Amino acid sequence: MPKDPSRAVRLPHDHVPVKAGRIGVLVVNLGTPDGTTYWPMRRYLKEFLSDRRVIETPRWLWWPILNLIILTKRPGPKGRDYASIWNDERDEGPLKTITRAQTEKLAARLADLGDDVVFDWAMRYGNPSIASRIDALHAQGCERLLVVPMYPQYAAATTATVCDKVFDKLKSMRWQPILRVAPPWHDDPVYIHAVKGGIEEHLATLDWTPDVILSSFHGVPKSYLLKGDPYHCHCAKTWRLLREAMGMDDKQLRLGFQSRFGTEEWLRPYTDETVKDLARSGVKNLAVVTPGFTSDCLETIEEIGVENAEYFHENGGVNFTAIPCLNDTDRGMDVLETVTRRELMGWV
């Protein structure tokens, strides 16, 4: 794509060397520890669970629980969970492997926009950090920055905390890039079509047919909804649109929320309880899809694919399958390309 001549960078002959005039696209996913042993897991969990967007419990109450109990006991078991899904070849978690691949494929798909659009990726928790990749894009002359949080449904604990970290970095910069943040795409027809296609493609590989499909989203405390967070509404709308697209009712395609933590009430129905109840009620064949995750990770591979599969079998279920996320498949990349092209309009 030819450059807009009105945006050409013209500097006086005696100006200090500077790179400018480019656009950065920063893909941001949740995060992953640097390793599975105690100290890398502790650092990761401390960063994650210290985020006031994630844990809204008053600090005077939360800090002793976090530092004296959770960060002492939890790194070991969680490290073993991560080790069970670890990419040993690259020595990294699958979320990092997949996010890198998604970014590289997005860059290839948008190559027609020209060399002045630069792509990079970061993790909200862990490495590579958001601050380090903004620095890298700025060093390459990116005066405009599009941040793409990899969350189809908005939540303060996901999308907003990515923005917080971006803003924290921008506050330290003298020459800030102009910023855009991609909005959630929970009801985008391209996304709904992609999730539907992914379900159908996976089910076609099985020699059995599910009696029920469970659509499981990451949970948040119910209090967040009551304070005005739109996350539950976004998940419910995705679920409804997916049911309509697949021609299913709310008994054939169920809703659940997973990964609850602590004693506070979270969004219901709970995925693990739903899986157990379905098995006890006589459901023998169950498929679980996780449309709120753009990339497979601990919560989809281990929590759904192993832990909830065990719940199902222990309570009388026979066949269980965890449907992969869209990841860097053609369908998944169709969604990311659509979102990114739309948000770059007017800049390229």
Q: At what angle do helices 330-344 and 189-203 cross, to 10 degrees?
A: 170
The identity of residue 254, as a single letter, is: R
Give the long-range contacts of residues 108-114, CB within 8 A, separation 24 or more: 109/333, 109/337, 110/25, 110/337, 110/340, 110/341, 110/344, 112/1, 113/1, 113/344, 113/348, 114/1, 114/2, 114/3, 114/348
Residues paired with 312 in a beta bridge: none
Cis preceding linkage at 324, omega within 30: no
Q: Binding residue per annotation — 143?
A: no
The identity of residue 327, as a single letter, is: N
Q: Binding residue per annotation — 232?
A: no
Specify the DSSP class assigned to residue 157. I
User: Does the CA dihedral 208-279-245-332 come out positive or negative?
Assistant: negative
Q: Rounded to 5 degrees, what are φ and ψ at 34?
A: -80, -15
Residues sharing a CB contact under 8 Å with residue 185, sequence separation 6 or more, in sequence order? 152, 191, 335, 338, 339
Separation CA 216–CA 145 (nearest Å): 32
State the residue for tokens 């009388």: 316
Instruction: Select from 341, 332, 334 the least CA-distant residue to 29.
Output: 332
Annotated binding site for Fe(2+): which residue ranges?
218, 299
Which residues sit in the known binding site?
A: 218, 299
